[in-house]
Structure formats: structure tokens, C-alpha cells
Amino acid sequence: MVSKDEFRAAVGHFATGVTVITTVDDNGQPHSMTANSFTSVCLEPPVVLVCVAHGTNTFGFLEKSGRFGVNILRQEQEELGAYFAKRPEDREDGVEVSYSSGKDGVPYLDNSMVFLGCHVIGTHVYGDHTIFLGEVEEIQQYEAGQPLMFYRSRWYNPSSD
């Protein structure tokens, strides 16, 4: 039997980019969560997925709204990545967050590299996570840069090795 710690340590060797998933809360306000389970699924139609833990606020907001945004972070946004990895009650003041509104009211983070506005077209529950499949309805691309990365449970900058 594979233990949770062993599994986490093993899959952590797969280096990823980092996204922030944006949704709206019950009051229609923007809500954000850091996620690296994002991947593209197919080109026609343009579909992506993200795996969301059932214990997160984002899970409930996504289930209700049926829409989400994927914001691909640049290296300079490490602070934002760390901020949105905390539960809202633990997010201290002092981090500047600026949102704009995409089509259908999906919020997006200003200054990320790419924003994908999606509507949920399918879900699959597995264990303590649900896989949300989203069809991409809107794309905004900003100035490219160095991507924020995550590797072995830490932020990772390949050019600083």
C-alpha cells in the first residue's frame, strides 16, 4: 500500500506551472485559489481541467456558478501564489490584488500571463477531489515572461540552479 506522504513526495517531482483559479463567492465577489492541477485536455473543443479539493471554498463556489477562470502566474507573482494557497481567514493584509471582469462576470487577476475564462462542461468526483472540465470561452494573453513554477513542494526557478 502506498502511503499519502510517499505518494505526495513522488508526484511532487513533476514540475508544474502555477495558476490561480478565480470564481465568484456567494456575494458575487471575486474569490481565488492557487492550483497546479491545471492541464489542457483537448483542442477541439478547447477544454481544460482542474482538480479541486472538496474542503476548499472554491469547490462550493465553482459548483454553484459553473464558471471559473484560470490565471497563469509569472515568476514575479510568487507572493500572490502563496497568498491564494492560504485559506481566506489566514490571508494577511498587505498583498495587492487587482481584478478585472471577464465575459459572463468571471473575474481575472490583472497582470497574470494568460487568463482563460471557462464554463464547466463536466465533472468527475474522485476521492476528496472533483475534476472540473471547462470549455474555454475567452482568452486574454498579456506580455509573456518567466513562469512561476512549483517542484517538490516548493517554488522553483530553473534559471537559479
Ligand X SMILES: Cc1cc2nc3c(=O)[nH]c(=O)nc-3n(C[C@H](O)[C@H](O)[C@H](O)COP(=O)(O)O)c2cc1C
List of residues contacting ligand X (CB under 6 A): 18, 33-37, 51-53, 56-58, 85-88, 150
Q: How far apart are CA 143 and CA 18, in angstroms?
A: 17
Radius of gyration in angstroms for the set of CA atoms belonging to the chain, rounded to a whole number: 15
Q: Which is nearer to ligand X, 1 or 125 (CB)?
A: 125
Shortest distance (Å) from residue 73 CB to ligand X: 10
In the 8-state DSSP scheme, what is residue 146?
P
Shortest distance (Å) from residue 21 CB to ligand X: 8
Shortest distance (Å) from residue 149 CB to ligand X: 9
Tell me the one-letter amino acid at 125: V
Q: Residue 33: name the closest of 63, 69, 77 by CA.
A: 69
Q: Which is nearer to ligand X, 68 or 150 (CB)?
A: 150
Q: Which is nearer to ligand X, 34 or 65 (CB)?
A: 34
Q: How far apart are CA 142 and CA 97, in angstroms?
A: 17
Q: Which is nearer to ligand X, 44 or 92 (CB)?
A: 92
Shortest distance (Å) from residue 129 CB to ligand X: 6
Shortest distance (Å) from residue 53 CB to ligand X: 4
**Bridge partners, residue 42, by sequence:** 47
Tell me the one-letter amino acid at 11: V
Edge-to-edge strand ranges of the sheet holding 67-72: 30-35, 19-24, 67-72, 114-126, 129-141, 47-53, 39-42
Q: Which is nearer to ligand X, 36 or 102 (CB)?
A: 36
